[in-house]
Amino acid sequence: MKLIELAQTTADEIGFTRPVSLFANTDTSARQMLALANREGVAQSGHGEWPQLRREYTFSTVVGVDNYAMPADFSRVIGATEWDRGSRWPLNGPLTPQEWQVMKSGFGNLGPRRRFRFMQGRMYLDPAPDSITTIAYEYISTGWAVASDGTTFRSVWASDTDTFALDEQVFIRGLKWRLLRAKGQDYGEEQMEWQHALDRSFSRAAGSRVLGLGLANSSFRLLSATNVRDAGFGR
């Protein structure tokens, strides 16, 4: 659904006047609904590592340069995804400020693996590259609002025709309780329904791995002849 359709559905469910539009609308209620719609988008996207918001970022290093810009839509990194693809080694880090100062101010710890930290919107590498290589990592994007072209992602609503990258039904529930609260009405039950729906949607978004108990085609067997004793099983 488009943003205006999400807003109209929300208004219908709680008996508010349907907005004709949210943008270029001077009506106080419409402006409030747009502000709360942005609030809900930020809150829902920050709930966890939604697969819809996962992105991969790669860049080529420059000899002697130890810091590099991060993606414009960077929200937070996905841990243990940082790799030096040239050497095929994972990067060590992110280092704490204290560990970084040990590396930079103390006696450096030499080794085959490069270290990193995030600071001032940039990724810092130690030691600085002495050759061109490719650094890769995954991150969560701030782009939860999708333009009508389907390829432009934004961190705020910019048009009535924008769509939502995450669960629309959860969004409606979230906008509903936020509007009720803003209008001074009871919102406890609606907020609880939103929280349950949000947790359920997030748990289902990425799917889950099936762990077989001794399946021959599973590489993650929990029970097999190698870890079950011959007698006394279950005691």
Identify the bridge partners of residue 163 per DSSP, sorted by sequence position: 2, 146
Residues 203-215 have pLDDT tens digits of 998 877 776 665 5
What is the biggest distance separating any 2 CA atoms in the chain, rounded to whole angstroms? 77
Identify the bridge partners of residue 84 per DSSP, sorted by sequence position: 89, 135
Phi, psi of 115 (to 5 degrees): -105, 165
Residues 13-53 have pLDDT tens digits of 999 999 999 998 999 999 999 999 999 999 999 998 999 99
DSSP β-ladder status, 115-119 and 163-164 = unpaired
Q: What is the pTM of this model?
A: 0.84
Kindly list the domain boundaries of the chain, sorted by start residue.
Answer: 3-49+166-205, 51-141
Segment 164-183 mean pLDDT: 97
